[in-house]
Amino acid sequence: MHAIPIHSETHLHCTLARLIEWATPILRDGRRIRLSWGDEQRSTEQNARMWAMLGEVSRQVEWHGQRLTGEEWKDVFSAALNRQKVVPGIDGGFVVIGARTSKMSKRELSDIMELISAFGAERGVRFTEPEHAE
C-alpha cells in the first residue's frame, strides 16, 4: 500500500496529475486501484508524550481509592474521549468496548493529551515535558 501525505491545495493538484499518469496504464490493463484518505496517523513523539503523561497521572492520582497503571488510565481517558460502550464482563465487572489509541490519528491523540492535561491540572499533577513533545 502506498501513502502520499498531501499538505496543500497546490500539492494536491500536482499529486493528482501524477496519480492519473501512474494509474491510467494500470486501469487500462484491467486492474483496479483503491484510494483512501484520512488524518495522518500519530507520531512516535506523540505516543511517547502520551505515555509519559499517563505515567505522571498514574504516579500522582488516586482514583476512587485506587492507584491505576498507565495502561488503565489510557483506557479511562480513551473511553471518556470517545464515549465508548461499556458492557458487563463475563465474570463480573465491566468492559469498555473499542478503546484503542493505536488506531488514533494525530488529531485524536492530541485530543486525548489535552484531556489528560486538563484532568491532571484539576488534580495538581505536575507533568514533565519530554524533549521532543508535539
pLDDT digits (tens, 9 = 90+) for 23-65: 999 999 999 988 777 767 777 888 899 999 999 999 999 999 9
Does the predicted model carry a pTM greater than 0.85? no
Same domain, 56 and 115: yes
Same domain, 1 and 52: no
Task: List 87's β-bridge partners, or say none.
Answer: 95
Measured CA to CA, the distance from residue 50 to residue 54 in angstroms comes to: 6
Same domain, 54 and 13: no
Instruction: List CB contacts of 45: < 8 A, sequence separation 6 or more.
Output: 130, 132, 133, 134
Question: What is the tens place of the pLDDT at every residue in 71-127?
Answer: 999 988 988 887 777 888 888 888 777 667 777 788 888 888 999 999 999 999 999
Cell digits of residue 65: 481509592
Q: How many domains does the chain have?
A: 2
User: Which DSSP symbol is given to 43?
Assistant: P
Residue 115 amino acid letter: L
Cell digits of residue 30: 484491467
Same domain, 20 and 49: no
